[in-house]
Structure 1
Amino acid sequence: MNRGPFRRATVRLVNRDHAFVVVGCGSVGSAALYWLSRMAAPYASVLGLERGAAGNARAGRTAAVAHAGGRDAHAALAGPAHLAWRQVESVSGQRLVTRTGGLVIEDPDVPAVRGTVDRHLAVAARHGIEVEELDAGGLVAGWPQFRPRGGERIVHRPGVAIVDLHRADATHVALARGHGAEIREYAPVRALHDSGRHVEVVTDDEVYRAEHVVVAAGAGTDAVLEGIAAPVPRTVVREQVTRYATPHLIDFSPGRFPVFTWRGAGTFRGLPVHGEVATTLCRPGEPADRSAREAFLAERVPGFAGPELSTATRVASVPADREPVLDTVASGRVGVAAGTDRSPGLVSLAGRILAELACAGTTRHPIADFAIDRPALTRPPAEVEPVPLRSRRWT
Structure 2
Amino acid sequence: MGTQDYDVIVVGLGAMGSATAYHLTRRGYRVLGLDANARQHKNGSSHGSSRIIREAYMEGPDYVPIVQRAYELWRELEAETGQKLLNITGCLTIGAPDSAFVKGALASCQRFNLPHEYLSGPEINRRFPGYTLPEDLHAVLEPNGGFLFPEECVMAHLDLAARHGAEIRHEEAVLSYSAPGENEVIVETAQGRYQAERLVITTGPWAAELLAELGIPLEVWRIVNAHFEPEDPARFQPANFPVWLLEAPEGDFYGFPALPGQGIKLGRHDLGEITTPQTINRNVDPAEIKLLKDLVDKYMAGGAATFSKSLTCMYTMTPDHNFVLDRHPAHPNVVYGCGFSGHGFKFAAAIGEILAQMAVDGQTTQSIGFLSAARFRQPVR
Shorter-chain TM-score: which interval? 0.7 to 0.9
Alpha-carbon deviation of 1:313? 4.1
Stretches of structure 1 lacking an aligned partner (at least 5 in a row): 1-12, 381-395
Is the 2:91–2:142 contact (alpha carbons within 8 Å) kept by the matching residues of 1? yes
State the match for 1:385 in structure 2.
none
Give CA deviations for 1:203-247 in whole Å, capped at 9, x if unaligned.
Answer: 123211111111111233233345xx5131112334331111224
Alpha-carbon deviation of 1:307? 1.4
Determine which structure has more spread, i.e. the larger CA radius of gyration: 1
Aligned equivalents of 1:209 and 1:323: distance in 2?
32
State the match for 1:217 in structure 2.
203
1:209 to 1:291, Cα distance in 2 relative to 1, 3 A: closer
State the match for 1:144 in structure 2.
129
Task: Name the TM-score, length of structure 1 as normaliser.
Answer: 0.84
Give CA deviations for 1:299-345 in whole Å, capped at 9, x if unaligned.
Answer: 32113112112234433232232222122224431120112362111
Report the identity percentage. Answer: 26
State the match for 2:99 in structure 1.
114
User: Which of residues 169, 172, 192 in structure 2 aligns to 1:206?
Assistant: 192
Equivalent runs, 1:199-278 vs 2, <5 Å: 199-225=185-211, 229-266=213-250, 267-274=252-259, 276-278=261-263
Give CA deviations for 1:354-384 in whole Å, capped at 9, x if unaligned.
Answer: 11112211111121111122x2x2238xxxx
The answer to whether the aligner puts 1:65 opposite 2:74 as a matched pair is no
Aligned equivalents of 1:213 and 1:115: distance in 2?
37
User: Which of residues 168, 191, 196 in structure 2 aligns to 1:183?
Assistant: 168
Alpha-carbon deviation of 1:291? 4.3
State the match for 2:316 in structure 1.
317
Is the 1:75–1:124 contact (alpha carbons within 8 Å) kept by the matching residues of 2? no
The answer to whether the aligner puts 1:355 opposite 2:356 as a matched pair is yes
Aligned equivalents of 1:275 and 1:170: distance in 2?
21
1:29 to 1:274, Cα distance in 2 relative to 1, 3 A: farther
Is the 2:23–2:353 contact (alpha carbons within 8 Å) kept by the matching residues of 1? yes
1:290 to 1:195, Cα distance in 2 relative to 1, 3 A: closer
Is the 1:239–1:314 contact (alpha carbons within 8 Å) kept by the matching residues of 2? yes
Task: Name the TM-score, length of structure 2 as normaliser.
Answer: 0.86
The answer to whether the aligner puts 1:154 opposite 2:139 as a matched pair is yes
Q: What letter is aligned with 1:305? A: A
The answer to whether the aligner puts 1:303 opposite 2:302 as a matched pair is yes
Aligned equivalents of 1:347 and 1:56: distance in 2?
18
Alpha-carbon deviation of 1:280? 0.5
Aligned equivalents of 1:24 and 1:214: distance in 2?
9
Alpha-carbon deviation of 1:24? 1.1
State the match for 2:76 in structure 1.
87
1:36 to 1:116, Cα distance in 2 relative to 1, 3 A: same
Is the 2:64–2:108 contact (alpha carbons within 8 Å) kept by the matching residues of 1? yes
Q: What is the DSSP-based 3-state SS (H/G/I as helix, E as strand, rest coil) of the residue aligned with 1:213?
A: strand
The answer to whether the aligner puts 1:78 opposite 2:79 as a matched pair is no
Equivalent runs, 1:8-19 vs 2, <5 Å: 13-19=1-7
Q: What is the DSSP-based 3-state SS (H/G/I as helix, E as strand, rest coil) of the residue aligned with 2:258?
A: coil
Root mean square deviation of aligned Cα: 2.3
Q: What is the DSSP-based 3-state SS (H/G/I as helix, E as strand, rest coil) of the residue aligned with 1:200?
A: strand
1:319 to 1:210, Cα distance in 2 relative to 1, 3 A: same
1:252 to 1:304, Cα distance in 2 relative to 1, 3 A: same
State the match for 2:12 in structure 1.
24
Is the 1:63–1:344 contact (alpha carbons within 8 Å) kept by the matching residues of 2? yes
Is the 2:117–2:142 contact (alpha carbons within 8 Å) kept by the matching residues of 1? yes
State the match for 1:104 in structure 2.
93
Aligned equivalents of 1:271 and 1:77: distance in 2?
23
1:221 to 1:87, Cα distance in 2 relative to 1, 3 A: same
State the match for 1:131 in structure 2.
116
Aligned equivalents of 2:294 and 2:8: distance in 1?
52
Give CA deviations for 1:167-210 in whole Å, capped at 9, x if unaligned.
Answer: 11111111011101111121111111111231111112321111
The answer to whether the aligner puts 1:335 opposite 2:350 as a matched pair is no
